[in-house]
């Protein structure tokens, strides 16, 4: 694609549909990064997709965006000022090709949970995008559904792929998501074995036998298998997130507690950042005010200086005129 520097269209950007469908049972909708007006000269009219186009297309579906989570690792595509002031925008700088780190995952979960808590009385959507709205976007959305909502990894991936209109492409993202099922299954089986030993009244087994794994793991209905979410259908009505699917192992409970502490820490850091931003704004306003006063003072001095020069000039002309009259 033609174009240089900051107006160069992302590679393969035109190959993907701009906006996916809302994922049933969630508030999520995925899309590729919208491009500001300066990119238009490198795109055909039918290829363009700007922040204004994004808002318009969502409104045409009788829906409303309440939050945009931007995962791109640059700020050159569009700016916050190009979005409506009522639409919340959050930037999480996320490297492409690599599995997002723990801090990024926690930050994403925190923003989603905070938005859902603050918007229980409406149905506003959470828009998520990276460059193509596919790999980083798909990973973090699916990771939230798996870790927080208890969804099976393959079901989460399938749901995202159908609603986005393109499948997640990077195998390292898919493999990492699928590992969550194996990890959770092992933790549930371990918890089931502990519960079966604690229920009986027989004396404890010798230490040598404790090393061996149990021959059978008691299964409680609905505890070792997570409930499958239905695939997206045209008739299905979106439902609110917030229901856990399946039992949590002891390791998972500890993991949840750790994530909750880290989320609280992130919230505290964000509040501090907001306070710092507020102080910076006040400082900037004060600086602007001082500069305006300084500029006004300089303008006033300059005006006085010009008036004085003009007055001297008139005085000089008048003096010459009087002298000429006197000589005559």
Q: Which residues of 109-125 are buried (b: 16+ CB within 10 A; e: fewer)?
A: bbbbbbbbeebeeeebb
Look at the alpha carbons of 103, 25, 169, 130 in this order and tell me if their dihedral is positive or negative: negative
Q: Which of 136, 142, 143, 163 is catalytic?
A: 136
CB 125 within 8 A of CB 21: no
Which residue, among 162, 235, 99, has the nearest Cα to 154 in the 3D structure?
A: 162
How would CATH label the architecture of 5-248? Alpha-Beta Complex (3.90)
Start-end of H helices in 200-244:
207-210
Residue ranges in the chain modelled with pLDDT below 70: 1-5, 182-252, 255, 273-274, 277-278
Whole-structure pTM value: 0.62
Q: At what angle do helices 171-199 and 250-327 cross, to 10 degrees?
A: 140
- Tell me the per-residue pLDDT of 118-152, one tens digit each, with 9 for 90 and over: 999 999 999 999 999 999 999 999 999 999 999 99
Nearest of 102, 148, 95, 71 to residue 266 by alpha carbon: 102
250-259 pLDDT, tens digit per residue, is: 666 776 777 7
């690792």: which residue's tokens? 73
End-to-end CA distance of the chain: 83
Q: Which one, of 274, 59, 58, 94, lies nearest residue 170 by Cα?
A: 94
Q: Are 196 and 222 in contact (CB under 8 A)?
A: no
Alpha-carbon distance of 114 to 317, in angstroms, equals 76
Cβ pair 25, 241 in contact under 8 A: yes
Measured CA to CA, the distance from residue 72 to residue 170 in angstroms comes to 16
d(CA 242, CA 162): 22
Q: For residue 186, indicate whether it is catalytic.
A: no
Per the structure block, which two tokens stand in for 210?
């404790």
What pLDDT does 103 receive? Answer: 94
Element of type H or E holding 90: strand 88-91
CB crowding 239-271: b at 16 or more within 10 Å, else e: eebeeebbbbbeebeebeeebeebbeebeeeee
pLDDT of residue 112: 96
Catalytic, out of 90, 130, 142, 163? 130
The residue among 151, 177, 143 whose CA lies nearest residue 69 is 143
Cα–Cα–Cα angle for 259, 25, 131, rounded to 5 degrees:
70
8 A C-beta contact, residue 149 and residue 38 = no
Catalytic residue status for 41: no
């Amino acid at each position: 694609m033609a174009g240089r520097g900051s107006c160069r269209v992302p590679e393969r950007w035109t190959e993907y549909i701009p906006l996916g469908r809302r994922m049933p049972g969630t508030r999520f909708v995925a899309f590729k990064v919208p491009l500001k007006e300066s990119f238009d000269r490198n795109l055909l009219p039918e290829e363009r997709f700007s922040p204004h186009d994004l808002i318009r297309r969502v409104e045409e579906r009788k829906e409303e965006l309440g939050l945009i989570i931007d995962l791109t690792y640059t700020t050159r595509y569009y700016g916050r000022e190009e979005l409506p002031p009522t639409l919340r925008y959050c930037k999480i700088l996320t490297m492409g090709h690599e599995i997002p780190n723990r801090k990024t995952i926690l930050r994403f979960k925190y923003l989603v949970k905070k938005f859902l808590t603050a918007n229980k009385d409406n149905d506003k959507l959470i828009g998520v995008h990276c460059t193509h709205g596919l790999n980083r976007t798909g990973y973090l959305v699916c990771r939230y559904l798996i870790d927080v909502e208890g969804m099976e990894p393959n079901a989460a991936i399938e749901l995202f792929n159908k609603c986005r209109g393109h499948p997640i492409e990077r195998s390292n993202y898919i493999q990492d998501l699928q590992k969550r099922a194996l990890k959770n299954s092992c933790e549930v089986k371990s918890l089931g074995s502990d519960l079966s030993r604690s229920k009986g009244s027989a004396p404890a087994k010798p230490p040598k036998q404790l090393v061996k794994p149990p021959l059978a793991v008691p299964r409680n209905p609905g505890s070792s298998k997570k409930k499958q979410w239905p695939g997206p259908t045209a008739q299905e009505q979106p439902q609110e997130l917030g229901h856990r699917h399946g039992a949590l192992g002891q390791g998972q409970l500890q993991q949840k507690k750790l994530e909750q502490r880290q989320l609280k820490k992130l919230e505290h850091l964000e509040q501090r950042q907001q306070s710092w931003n507020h102080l910076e704004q006040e400082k900037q306003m004060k600086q602007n005010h001082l500069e305006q006063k300084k500029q006004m003072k300089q303008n006033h001095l300059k005006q006085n200086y010009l008036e004085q020069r003009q007055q001297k000039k008139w005085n000089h002309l008048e003096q010459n005129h009087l002298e000429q009259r006197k000589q005559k």
